[in-house]
Amino acid sequence: MPLDGAVLGNLAAEQMAALEEAYGDDENVHIGGAVTIVEILRAQGEPDAQGNVAMSSDVRMRFNQPEPYRVVGLLQQASFNMLAGGGMTPPRAS
């Protein structure tokens, strides 16, 4: 089964809508650093007697900053924001 790009595309569109709502009228702001992190899951083998399939996980990342320390700082700040309950919208129930 090919990768479903809609998952990443929908998330990016939701982020842009949230940014426009929060900052859209401010002419003094622009997007600086951006990071995407995607987890790829792969089934490993056949289902067991209970129907469970073992999964492996690969995490891929892309960013637009040339300095790795800046990217690490963005990831740390995002982690702090998430744990504090700010700066993000929880995922919608599927």
Tens-place pLDDT, residues 81-94: 889 987 666 555 55
- Segment 42-47 long-range contacts (CB within 8 Å, at least 24 positions apart): none
Residue 83 covered by a domain: no
Residue 17 covered by a domain: yes
Range of the domain at 10: 5-62
Buried b (16+ CB within 10 A) or exposed e, 51-60: eeeeeeeeee
In DSSP terms, which residues pair with 41 in a beta bridge? 57
Domains held by the chain: number: 1
Residue 78 covered by a domain: no
Residue 90 covered by a domain: no
Q: With contact defined as beta carbons under 8 Å apart, do 34 and 12 qualify?
A: no
Residue 74 covered by a domain: no
Residue 75 covered by a domain: no
- Residue 81 three-state SS: helix
Residue 76 covered by a domain: no
Q: With contact defined as beta carbons under 8 Å apart, do 73 and 67 qualify?
A: no
Model confidence pLDDT, tens digit, residues 8-38: 999 999 999 999 999 988 999 999 999 999 9
Model confidence pLDDT, tens digit, residues 44-67: 989 999 999 999 999 999 999 999
